[in-house]
């Protein structure tokens, strides 16, 4: 009986699927078994540290002085994964940012604020206004950051359920881990 259980667990645990969202990795574990990947040890990453968020692969990468440090699954605002154009469009912005503040959040575990909108975002926004892509009375929005999910709702990450208003969302245990070693001032690149 023990042998049958072990074999069954191995078969289920090794069930690999190609990521339907175009992940750059060849395969990924089926969503219900997806876990964060890292080279982490007992020590924190070695400065300088930077974050790269890849919207097309639904992953947040952490790099330190030695290279790749960790990868976390994430979700965003809209399923279309478009660049943020204005307040209320629920799109996640693309560009280069910095973590400007950190705080414990009463709904989403932790919140790491980004410096959105920055100078480049405001220039893009004004150009889009000139071209008529956004209404004249629109604003670029703000309050973009990295945060967790509602309590006991980590499953939205596994299911690639984009639910935010433009922020980047991680599982609560992942955002708590990230929060513990990411400093204010850390650069972050968000790309598609």
The DSSP secondary structure of 61-77, one letter per residue, reads: EEEETTEEEEEEE-B-S
Q: Which residues in the chain come in under a pLDDT of 50?
A: 1-35
Domain total in the chain: 2
pTM of whole model > 0.85? no
Assess whether 126 and 181 both reside in one domain.
yes
Assess whether 172 and 79 both reside in one domain.
yes
CB within 8 A of 15, min separation 6: which ones?
29, 30, 33
Condensed to tens digits (0 to 9), the pLDDT of residues 18-53 reads 333 333 333 333 333 344 566 665 578 999 999 999
- The two three-digit tokens of residue 1, written as one number: 């009986």
| CATH number for 175 | 2.40.440.10
Assess whether 40 and 75 both reside in one domain.
yes
Assess whether 48 and 24 both reside in one domain.
no
Looking at residue 51, what is its pLDDT? 98
Looking at residue 30, what is its pLDDT? 36
Burial of 69 (0-12, 13-18, 19+ CB in 10 A): buried
DSSP 8-state secondary structure symbol assigned to residue 91? P
Q: Is 157 helix (H, G, I), strand (E, B) or coil?
A: helix
Domain, as residue range, for 107: 35-191
Looking at residue 43, what is its pLDDT? 77
Assess whether 108 and 47 both reside in one domain.
yes
* Count of C-beta atoms within a 10 Å radius of residue 190: 23
Looking at residue 107, what is its pLDDT? 92
């Amino acid at each position: 009986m023990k042998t049958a259980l072990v074999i069954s667990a191995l078969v289920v645990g090794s069930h690999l699927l190609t990521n339907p969202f175009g992940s750059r990795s060849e395969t990924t574990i089926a969503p219900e078994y997806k876990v964060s990947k890292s080279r982490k040890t007992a020590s924190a990453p070695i400065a300088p540290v930077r974050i790269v968020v890849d919207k097309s692969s639904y992953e947040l990468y952490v790099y330190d002085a030695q290279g790749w440090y960790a990868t976390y699954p994430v979700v965003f605002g809209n399923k279309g994964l478009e660049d943020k154009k204005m307040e209320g469009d629920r799109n996640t912005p693309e560009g280069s940012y910095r973590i400007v503040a950190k705080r414990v959040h009463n709904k989403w575990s932790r919140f790491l604020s980004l410096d959105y909108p920055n100078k480049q975002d405001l220039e893009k926004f004004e150009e889009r206004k000139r071209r008529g892509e956004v209404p004249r009375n629109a604003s670029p929005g703000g309050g973009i950051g990295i945060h967790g999910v509602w309590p006991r709702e980590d499953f939205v990450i596994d299911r690639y359920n984009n639910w935010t208003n433009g922020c980047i969302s991680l599982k609560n245990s992942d955002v708590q881990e990230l929060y513990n070693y990411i400093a204010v001032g850390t650069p972050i690149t968000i790309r598609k």
